[in-house]
Amino acid sequence: MAVGASFTRPFTLAADVVTAVALAIAVGVTTRTIRHDRHEGPAAARVTADRPRWTRWGALWLVLLGAVVAWELYCYTQLPRQQHPTLSALIETLDSTRLGKTVAFAAWLCLGWFLAAR
């Protein structure tokens, strides 16, 4: 799927379709997983109820999100833009080649899979 995405141009119907297919597959897998978990019975509910609400992973993601937001705000307010690029400008540089776009799309899919599995 990532290789197919590398042949698309941003903000085109083809790019939207490739992204929608990836999202549809993710929604299907997530729905199937949720339905499977519901059929495991009350024992599965007790196990998940005993888990702490905040884990080390949650704290790590919160710190990462704060760092990204701080970086974006810093870069957005600084001039000239060439010396302070935003993340979208850096990703645009990566997306300018087919290999870079393939890697970025595959990383996006893997990150989504990782987050959904947590």
pLDDT block averages, 10 residues each, the chain of length 118: 86 88 86 71 55 75 90 83 79 88 90 78
Q: 58 in a domain, yes or no?
A: no
Please tell me the pTM assigned to this model. Answer: 0.56
Q: Is 91 helix (H, G, I), strand (E, B) or coil?
A: helix
Q: 94 in a domain, yes or no?
A: yes
Q: 78 in a domain, yes or no?
A: no
The total number of structural domains that make up the chain: 1
d(CA 28, CA 25): 5
Q: 71 in a domain, yes or no?
A: no
Domain of residue 40, residue span: 2-51+85-117
CA torsion sign for 72, 107, 31, 42 is: negative
**Distances in whole angstroms, Cα of residue 29 to Cα of each of 15, 19, 22, 32:** 22, 16, 11, 5
